[in-house]
């Protein structure tokens, strides 16, 4: 127990040392890098997964393919994909390594968007069409608002996953917060390893809270308390 206390104390010392809060290897720089990579990967994951999920959910075509695709994506090992990207690339590995990071975030967005739209009450869909809405209006004004809790859940899962995968991708040469873990392990600097891990955990918690706030902000009042598993 004493050893544990020493570890916590030395990690705290690492975190609070002024030298670790400046320069190209400083915490603010690494944090900014990490946020930049995560935003980039999440953007491309959304670009692919959201329209695809909306289309499949709305048309009801290809549901089985989406479910199997998402399952296969879940089975892929993060570390293997980022290393493969780095090994196959020549020069700066940053962009190649971010491709699998984005790819792995596709599954949660795709599945939740598809499930959200699919679960919309058919009566509601009929009512919207009966009010004279065209298929686009049915999607935008009836289906998406009702499916929003699940769509947001998918986005939140994807965002947290991207933060985590980007950390692992430091092994394949990516910058960001994962550097502390990888570089610290390489030289057995455990205060740095544990200190870096603490920052990653804090970032994941902040991302989680941001999505809880976003949900409060954009969700129609009539839908609150439904789907409430967050």
Partner 1 sequence: MSGGEPLIRWDWIGSHAGYLAGLAGRHLYLSLIPVVFGLIVSVPLGIACTRWRWVYPPVLTSANVLYSIPSLALFLLFIPYTGLFSDLTLIIPLTLYTLSVLVPNVVDGLRQVSAPVSQAATAMGFGRLRQLLQVELPIAVPVVIAGVRIATVSSISLVSVGQLIGNGGLGVLFTDGQQRIFPTEVIVGIALTVVLAFAADAVLVTVQRLLTPWARTGRAAA
Q: Is 94 in the site for partner 1 (CB under 8 A)?
A: no
Nearest-approach distance from CB 194 to partner 1, in angstroms: 6
Q: Is 69 in the site for partner 1 (CB under 8 A)?
A: no
As a whole number of angstroms, the distance between CA 180 and CA 33 comes to 13
DSSP string, 90-144: -S--HHHHHHHHHHHHHHHHHHHHHHHHHTS-HHHHHHHHHTT--HHHIIIIIIH
As a whole number of angstroms, the distance between CA 172 and CA 84 comes to 9
Residue closer to partner 1 by CB (options 18, 88) is: 88
Residue 170 has a CB neighbour count (10 Å cut-off) of 24
Residue closer to partner 1 by CB (options 78, 113) is: 78
Handedness of CA 26, 156, 172, 92 (dihedral sign): negative
Q: Is 24 helix (H, G, I), strand (E, B) or coil?
A: coil
Nearest-approach distance from CB 201 to partner 1, in angstroms: 5
Q: What angle do CA 180, 186, 189 make, to 5 degrees?
A: 60
Give the count of residues interacting with partner 1 (CB under 8 A). Answer: 45
Taking contact as CB under 8 A, which single stretch among the options 13-21, 82-90, 143-151, 219-227 is the one that binds partner 1?
A: 82-90
Nearest-approach distance from CB 88 to partner 1, in angstroms: 6
Taking contact as CB under 8 A, which single stretch among the options 24-32, 54-62, 67-75, 110-118 is the one that binds partner 1?
A: 67-75
**x/- letters, 163..202, toward partner 1 (CB under 8 A):** xx--xx--xx-----x--xx--x----x--xx-xxx-xx-
- Residue choice 17, 39, 47, 76 for contact with partner 1 (CB under 8 A): 76
As a whole number of angstroms, the distance between CA 49 and CA 53 comes to 6
Cα separations in angstroms, 225 against 84, 120, 219: 43, 16, 10
Q: Hey, what are 165's tokens?
A: 């995968």
Residue closer to partner 1 by CB (options 17, 76) is: 76
Q: Which residues bind partner 1 (CB under 8 A)?
A: 3-4, 7-8, 71-72, 74-81, 83-84, 86-90, 160, 163-164, 167-168, 171-172, 178, 181-182, 185, 190, 193-194, 196-198, 200-201, 204-205, 208, 229-230
């Amino acid at each position: 127990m004493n050893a544990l206390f020493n570890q916590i104390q030395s990690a705290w010392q690492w975190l609070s040392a002024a030298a670790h809060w400046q320069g190209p290897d400083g915490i603010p720089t690494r944090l900014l890098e990490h946020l930049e990579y995560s935003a980039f990967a999440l953007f491309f994951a959304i670009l692919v997964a959201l329209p695809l999920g909306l289309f499949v959910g709305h048309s009801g075509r290809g549901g089985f393919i989406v479910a199997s695709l998402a399952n296969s994506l879940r089975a892929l090992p993060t570390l293997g994909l980022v290393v493969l990207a780095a090994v196959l690339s020549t020069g700066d590995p940053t962009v190649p390594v971010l491709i699998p990071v984005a790819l792995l975030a596709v599954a949660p967005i795709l599945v939740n968007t598809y499930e959200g739209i699919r679960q919309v009450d058919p009566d509601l869909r009929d009512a919207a069409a009966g009010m004279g809405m065209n298929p686009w209006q049915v999607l935008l004004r009836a289906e998406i608002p009702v499916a929003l809790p699940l769509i947001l859940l998918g986005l939140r899962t994807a965002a947290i996953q991207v933060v985590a995968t980007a950390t692992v991708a430091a092994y394949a040469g990516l910058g960001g917060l994962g550097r502390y873990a990888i570089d610290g392990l390489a030289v057995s600097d455990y205060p740095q390893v544990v200190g870096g891990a603490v920052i990653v955990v804090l970032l994941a918690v902040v991302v989680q809270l941001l999505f809880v706030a976003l949900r409060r902000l954009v969700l129609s009042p009539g839908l609150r308390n439904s789907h409430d598993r967050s």
